[in-house]
Structure 1
């Protein structure tokens, strides 16, 4: 065999190896019930790379056939038939897979629950198109975890129509920053999806950390500053149409649209960054725009305490404990005397026996207001 023929056979073998690898990839892809967006993109890329190989093989095979016929008279046309069968079989299978999966609802980085797949049937048998819902994003902030968790569970995790490997694709596409690092080392397999979700839940589904984060957010609220005209650098010699523009007051006049532009002048003065603008008018200069205050560092004050000195005499537990009623009511001396007198009177009424002394219903009341008989009024005078 000549040296040129060896080189041509080597190049032809390399092309046949690529076709064999492509056949294996297509066969594995066809075994999947549905290709993910990533798998579909990889299949399309491989398909595009295989397309020009036929022309390369055709040129090499033609040269090999010519050299073989001139040197040994051997017919090598059978090699071409075997290659073409493998080439067209794998390419047609790949094309069918691409078309079939492209027609399905594509859910990926821009996951959508579209109106084509999700509709609500109204009472009049018409269908209402629902707006799309984008795949949630989570970058590791505790303040965003609850919203991400509930949305992801509803759209992806609890959706039985999505297979496990695709759920893992969507989870990876949703995570950014520090959150993505938690599952970065896990291989993209069905078994690892549940592990990935468990790792995220253990890291961020922590009630103590969530509460602490919200408390910190409350204390980090930027203070509101009251706008003051003293903060505005007015140029000297400026006469304002309303010198007390920053003070609430009654409206003097409403200028209609038909004369507004006649009242407004053309001159304008920019007072600088984060400051309003002065506009000229026939009434004087008008203050227009907003005052944007830069952020200022304000000392934070925490209103929480864990304990107080024992001799402080302050019981802060009453702030969060409900007032409780004592199991037994303790009578005052006056109430005890009244109760005792009432029981004696009740005994007389029930038995008809009277001890020493005379009891009356009025005497029960006298016990409660001992020394203050004048408060009984007409009842006391007619006793």
Structure 2
């Protein structure tokens, strides 16, 4: 009578754990304009009637009482009266100026701009959320003079995140996880949290046989049985277990196309458990595995935060102060030397008598009517200066006519 013993049991397979490497991306996220000098446009000479200028035929020059404006009353008038004056298409430049006289001064109101910045999230004290200390627009530089914080409505926010995870040695019938968890940092709120992303795509990078395949076998009733029960099949107690390798794979529900058992060896001697003789064995072989790249994506909710912005006041910068001075000086204009040389001294300049008188008077009157006067030389004094100038010019005219006999 043969004795039918208990069964052979197989332990769980040591399936390789899925391991991956997370790759994250960070988005990074200015405008510099040239410094403005609108004030320099105000530093200029008042125009005068060049058609009536009296040119000295001997020196090829003329004197002109010239009014100009400047932010620096100590500045050399020649720096401002640097534009050539055309007389009959011949350029004259300032060769000499007398000490200037102050006519008036006024405070120039700087341009002011109010700007509301783009909205931002997070702490307004953060440097990245501060408004620009200065801006430039149309060549004018403005400095920040005041700012007011504006808080808007609380905004529900989302950020699209993606991650690539590479799983190695993925075995047959093992599926890539449908979701993955990543660590996120919200720069706006300063909070860190976990986000769950969904699997959207997977790509097989490599397929190969892996020799790291083994599982344990336990034989119960060892030494007393004539026959073992292997997954419903009776095998002799003294049979070599390797001959039944395919039966072991079926017992584990593993495909013979993806797994191969190459050896089954005893692992230690027999031992007793509750009066039952037991003995362990180990099966080893290889498995067909894959390396898989999985791509995960999701729109991740971010902590709700109020939108903020700055209402900023920017004031125009005046590098030399904002007091504009109106000055008058006697300037001597001489033919541009480069032009005189190219024309061999034959200038053909027409002479005019009253141009200097009219131009000087008009320029002074214009400066009084256009600008409010803070400090003014009495009008009687100005008129006296003009009278002296007119008398002097008449004498020069008479002397020039006697010396040149009307020819140049």
TM-score under structure 2 length normalisation: 0.21
Structure 1 or 2: more helix by fraction: 1
TM-score under structure 1 length normalisation: 0.22
Which structure has more relative contact order (CA 8 Å, sep 6+)? It is 2
Larger Cα Rg: Structure 1 or Structure 2? 2
